[in-house]
Structure 1
């Protein structure tokens, strides 16, 4: 409404004001159109209004609309059309006003499910007030006029499927059959008790989706939960987890009919977001590096990301976005600007850091082969978006040798042990244990006594354990300028920072890695980034999403000072440095 300028005398002369109720802007605009004798368009932009994108999700906006709120739109339309009927408008103006009002009605009806009552009333209004000579040009309008509710609801999905079918026609017959299979299942009703889970593009049973899946089977046994995996991952799936192979016929069926979907990345582009479904984006880490559309200004990363338009269309399928701290909530809001709801519940995968017992920790260490008298250092560097010869810049074999007999290194990285004689010897001597292939990162973290990492998001999860963290930032300047970051890690680290391998060895052998300064830095880091993680995240998600419980009935957050993370198994007291 405020994008239009009115003469004050015009408003007073015709007694124009906003009508009562919701959608009053539509009613006011209609009254103005009836009263106006002249109007003009100024082709210069005078006002810019930043407005959050409205995605395809239903949780944050349209799902919350009650039938009464949706009906208010039709109240305003009827109010304007009643006033128009009382006036002898020229046919062209009557048709234009009618088309304008019902364009809004059709867009609203198509955006999200409003129910048969809304649709039927809209159809009655269309038939009653349709001006003479008005031609119903669109399929949507014809279906509304005829009261064909089921066909109207199916039309958007069928239209998208038709476009996809044309694209598939140029590809293999197998893909065409998959499209037809998916189209068939999309016509079937939603399964209100079906939930689909996936993690890391089908790489196995892991991360936040797996933690939510486990809790769902406990608290919501009426929900049938299936996990999506690649075919080669099937042998590694737990025996008691129902698995569906990505790309199979069952995959297209569950994707078409599931009421709930959980993923820590995005589903493939061809997946249709059906009205009434709930998609939860769980994410898989707290962001230090730039994410989503925030990557656009970093050319190397943006090129690898691909189409940001396609990315945002996938983001528009999100209904809920999970956060483990306020920092993440802020980042997700800007990096993925769409109309999803933030669930500030913590990361379900981090629940284990508060529920694991000392006996479990000891059992994991024994399984990994960690000696009881050694301090286990987990070394977990992150991926780089630029060329980097890791083995040349960090001599891991020499690092293990110079640490001494007190430590054992748990390696979680992309080193090639078979091709390095020094690393093979470190393994043989018991100074190095390769845990890269282990699927459960939480187990590896629980088994360790301290973490060494660079810029990996593992630091945010590990901080929940309240165990020492050492940052090895030998290429921070390059990483920051190439990848982009949200804050200066070196100014706000979770522990001591080393810029060279010599500094790193000195921090560890001197005992500074576990001193009071390390504890103070870690305490501040935990307060900022472990805000919502208290061991109850999975329960909150299940109760809120699958059981529909209101926020006030969810488990109350445990204050940080009262949380008891799983204790480290080894006696991690720093030794007195040699004089």
Structure 2
């Protein structure tokens, strides 16, 4: 067993090298790594270096090409302990601050830490005698009051809902002031939240005890660092922002894994005994163990046999490791500990009855409401839920029950081809039933058959969420297809944008997200944003958007037929104008003077103008412009994919249609007249004007100049579109619907699915100009 650091020679301060190495480690959990690195990069300091021990391609991509950052690439599956070790091996700083990839370092913290540890080292060097073995004695008689192996700092916590919540550790840190003490003189530091990120370690200390500190269990390492340290300093300033991920978004292990809590503390207590630590730190660690075990037994959701066995094992540990002469606390906590030591599980459960009964009643009510829905009390629905799931029944719906559309429609069409034994039923609002294709089996929300089908269906496919009242049965499969690649902030990322959230109940949103079995994605950007905005345990299907298959399947004849239906004469240039919804506008008003634009573009250009579907119930402001023959209001035309196929070019602002249209490899012009307002009020994931798929216009005059010259399709536009396509059309190759059907409905493995064709090898549908020549 290793010994604690007690006596060392003088530490030479090399002013040329970094004082502090911030070691960011792990994989790109839910897409948070890039933001953390941006925060670090914005506060670079000469005495601080940043090492990123990046696990997997996503983390390596997030860390790549960042100035002042050293990237240590590690293969997928590398554990956190191994990643920390790899990062520490590359670090050159005299102190190490380990930061998990999901967490962030607050502004100013790296400089504060570097100054504090440099101060510790300088004072330690000044206090060392000529022989290198004598430490100075402080005014309080404490030997070596300045040197330390570990600096314990404060932190804040952030969840999906709350940011920057203070920790309970401040009182312990402030108590120590600026002294560096042996653990025996500051045992309460063992009560500080056990995070490795709130302990800054001397690099030599880390290397000397790597065998004890390099394991996968961060909690063990956090405690072991304090036990092994010769002296410990404290700093009651925040140096870490811990992002606490939703438990529902993390992998769930077997309940028996909680036995490891007891084993961890027994190992730590054994280490403390081996090191010969005196009574105060051993008593503090014992108190922490007992309190943690009681918390697990009382609060965590464990099967009753597992809970009973946990209690039994915790009782044995409490008796075996209780320090001699240790006094239990008073009050209810003392009663709980006495019962634990007696191994009286039944008595303990009785003691907890009052609180537990209230929790059970609340839990039962929530569970019941979850099963039958907050508004559904229909006995037939509950009875149907008790019947077996129909393995050959699939429910489809899109855009809040508008009809057959989008990704669900493309999946349903491919399902009819590959798995005709599965019967599709569409959920359609009563007002939209007359618009359904002939022969479409459908159900109207709220009807008796609606609840019967929703209860029995094996597959439920939607491009938005199903109502809260719809129960996710254990053997049912919910497929969330989404309906666009996100530029604007979505889900939990809307928390800081009240204009976008508009009173959205995020708790209810997450309850709906927790019903997803699969989430369909068109590109890596979407996958990462969905995982962050909608954290849960669903499986991401990186198969492409099924609705975009048509952009590689449509023929010249198809395109000629679509243009004929729309009334576009052969030889005319058709430009699709499709702006997005703005959360700060109640109704849609074109941001362009369309009549003037049409006049400037001339008789040979037709404008296809599509208002966002959010404004479908408002009067169209385009009615007076239709008579010109050069403007066609296609706001109510479906499917929108037809409009894209018919258009020679696209004008949009921030609509996700740009990501789909890019598959056609046709010109795209961004009209961003209010980008700053939109980005500020709605929130965005990247700077569109800087990373646009083509030319960007900020005024109508600029837009007109682009469209009346060749700039809208020049070489610069082509290059920008190529980069954009490679990034956002990553999985769209014409076989997305097939991959989804084979994976979800036929149960085929990922390895057996048709591989995604590289972007450069794909052949999109012919352009309208090419279509007229075939």
Q: Which residue of 2 aligns with 1:45?
A: 193
Q: Which residue of 1 aligns with 2:101?
A: none
| 1:61-100 correspondence runs (5 A) | 73=256
Q: Name the residue aligned to 1:90.
A: none
Query: For each residue in 1:71-97, what CA deviation from the matched residue of structure 2 results, as whole angstroms up to 9, or x when unmatched?
Result: x949989xx9xxxxxxxxxxxxxx989
Q: Is 1:182 aligned with 2:404? A: no
SS of corresponding position for 1:451? strand
Choose which of 315, 337, 340 in structure 1 pairs with 2:513: 315
Cα separation, 2, equivalents of 1:393 and 1:405: 22
1:194 equivalent in structure 2: 393
Q: Which residue of 1 aligns with 2:476?
A: 277
Structure 1 residue aligned with 2:647: 448
Structure number with greater CO (CA < 8 Å, separation at least 6) is 1
Which of 550, 569, 573 is residue 371 of structure 1 equivalent to?
569
Residues 453, 108 of structure 1: CA spacing in aligned structure 2 closer, same or farther, 3 A cutoff?
Answer: farther
Q: Give the secondary structure class of the aligned counterpart of 2:248.
A: coil
Q: Does 1:404 align with 2:602?
A: yes
Contact residue 559 and residue 771 of structure 2 kept, 8 A: no
The residue aligned with 1:476 is 675
Larger Rg: 2
Q: Is the 8 A contact 1:185 1:257 kept in 2?
A: yes
Distance between the aligned counterparts of 2:756 and 2:567, measured in 1? Answer: 36
1:567 to 1:317, Cα distance in 2 relative to 1, 3 A: same
Map 1:160-179 onto structure 2 (within 5 A). Answer: 160-161=367-368, 168=375, 176=377, 179=378
Residue 424 of structure 1: how far off its partner (Å): 5.4
CA distance in 1, matches of 2:606, 2:668: 15
**By how many angstroms is 1:44 displaced?**
4.3
Match 1:358 to one of 556, 574, 593? 556
User: CA shift at 1:285, angstroms?
Assistant: 0.1
Shift of 1:209: 0.7
User: CA separation of 1:524/1:75 partners in 2, compared to 1, >3 Å: closer, same or farther?
Assistant: closer
Deviation at 1:514, TM superposition (A): 1.4
Q: Is the 8 A contact 1:74 1:105 kept in 2?
A: no
| Separation (CA, whole Å) in 1 of partners of 2:410 and 2:370 | 37
Instruction: Give how far 1:157 is off.
Output: 8.8
| Residue 55 (structure 1) aligned to one of 248, 251, 254 | 248
* Contact 1:361–1:447 (Cα < 8 Å) also in 2: yes
Tell me, in whole angstroms, the C-alpha distance in 1 between the residues paired with 2:489 and 2:556: 37
Alpha-carbon contact 1:354-1:535 (below 8 Å) kept: yes
CA gap 1:106/1:553 in 2 versus in 1, 3 angstroms: farther
| Structure 1 match to 2:540 | 342
Partners of 2:557 and 2:771 within 8 A in 1: no
**Conserved in 1, the CA contact under 8 Å of 2:373 and 2:470?**
no
1:227 counterpart = 2:426: yes
1:481 and 1:231 map into 2 onto residues whose CA distance is 38
Shift of residue 160 of structure 1? 3.1
Equivalenced residue count is: 472
Structure 2 contact 648–666 (Cα < 8 Å) conserved: yes
Distance 1:277 1:374, change over 3 A: same
Which residue pairs with 2:417 in the alignment? 218
Cα RMSD after superposing both structures = 3.9
CA distance in 2, matches of 1:495, 1:75: 54
- Structure 1 unaligned regions, length at least 5: 1-6, 9-39, 81-94, 110-128, 142-154, 169-174, 574-579
Instruction: Give 2:737's aligned residue.
Output: 538
CA positional deviation for 1:393: 4.4
Q: Which runs of 5+ in 2 are unaligned?
A: 5-187, 198-241, 264-292, 308-342, 357-361
TM-score normalised to the size of structure 1?
Answer: 0.73
Partners of 1:532 and 1:209 lie apart in 2 by 17
Q: C-alpha distance in 1, partners of 2:488/2:193? A: 36
Instruction: Give the superposition deviation at 1:532.
Output: 0.3
Cα–Cα, structure 1 residues 400 and 440, in superposed 2: closer, same or farther, change >3 Å? same
SS of 1:104's equivalent in the other structure is coil
**Corresponding residue to 2:531 among 315, 318, 333:** 333
